[in-house]
Amino acid sequence: MQTNRDRSDRCGPAWCTASTIQSGQAHQFRQLGHHMLNVSVCFARRPPRPLNSRCPEHYASRDPVRIVAALDIAASPNFRAVPEQAAPALHGLLNDNVSLPVARAELTRPTGSGVVAVEATGSGVVAVEAAGPNEPAPDLLLHDSTGSVTGREQYATNLPGIGPGTAATAAVGRLEDTLTSGLVDKLSSYDPATGSARRDVTYGRREIAAQVRPSRGGFNFDPYLDAGLFQRVLGRINATVLQLANEIRFYDSTGRLVYTWRR
């Protein structure tokens, strides 16, 4: 991704061509454009009309898929009152190693009440802080109109080794161990007495989104992600610790939701 302040004549709102954005989405962009200056693109060509501002460097992107995702998130019910916070929130989650499909799903998943502010822990922009490894959990905070907050902590597996030829039983066993350990760590962050989660907000819900990704050695776990696997993992977690969350969602490597546990 190239961002260069000296090329400000090539920077501006995401003027979308028919080859990358469908007509309905281009219309949606025009409708939301005044809220979406954070969705900016540095093109190789000069955009088709004069620009009034430079690209905000934090959010500059040449990826039309991310631009469309940000527009769709901004138009979702969660962001009806705060569409300008969609792009920074998406950027914050992507910066924290959350995949685009999971980030999109977690940002648009209903909270039960109208969202009035969003914090994707970590960027440094007024209402949004971009996620960083040393920032307090959870990765995503959705403030609703009742004063309550939905916390959504993100987690993704990253198992070393385990090549494509590994026996499925051994590979899945390693995955179950990793998921158990990772979820205990994420759940423990919500402990009101000892956890690392922010304590300056009133949590209405505490949630976790976990994505199972291929191992670094190239083993694809997707065919083995069934209810039985997740139930075995959850059964290994101390009941008191498990009760720290209201809901845990599991996604496969493509970002498809494959299992949900609810308290």
Check whether residue 108 and residue 229 sit in a common domain. yes
Check whether residue 68 and residue 83 sit in a common domain. no
The range of the structural domain enclosing residue 103 comes to 76-262
User: What is the overall mean pLDDT for the chain?
Assistant: 77
Check whether residue 46 and residue 11 sit in a common domain. yes
pLDDT over threshold 60, residue 131: no
Give tens-digit pLDDT for 34-45. Answer: 444 444 432 223
Check whether residue 225 and residue 107 sit in a common domain. yes
pLDDT over threshold 50, residue 164: yes
Give the residue from 27, 44, 75 where a domain finishes. 75
What Cα–Cα distance (Å) separates residue 15 from each residue in 9, 39, 62, 87, 154?
A: 13, 10, 11, 15, 32
pLDDT over threshold 90, residue 225: yes
Check whether residue 61 and residue 100 sit in a common domain. no
Check whether residue 117 and residue 236 sit in a common domain. yes
Question: What pLDDT is stored for residue 19 in this prediction?
Answer: 35
pLDDT over threshold 70, residue 149: yes
Give the residue from 75, 97, 130 where a domain finishes. 75
Check whether residue 117 and residue 191 sit in a common domain. yes
Of residues 143, 139, 142, 135, the one with CA closest to residue 154: 139
Check whether residue 39 and residue 140 sit in a common domain. no
Check whether residue 98 and residue 222 sit in a common domain. yes
Check whether residue 150 and residue 126 sit in a common domain. yes
For the chain, the farthest-separated pair of C-alpha atoms sits apart, in whole angstroms, at 60
- Provide mean pLDDT across the span 84-97: 87
Tell me which of 26 and 77 has the higher pLDDT: 77
**Rg (Cα) of the chain, in Å, rounded?**
20
> How many residues in the chain?
263
pLDDT range class, residue 121, cuts 50, 70, 90: low
Question: What pLDDT is stored for residue 143 in this prediction?
Answer: 86
Helix or strand or coil: residue 164? coil
What type of residue is 58?
H
Q: For the chain, what is the domain count? A: 2
Give the residue from 75, 96, 112 where a domain finishes. 75
Check whether residue 154 and residue 49 sit in a common domain. no
pTM above 0.75, yes or no: yes
Question: What pLDDT is stored for residue 62 in this prediction?
Answer: 62
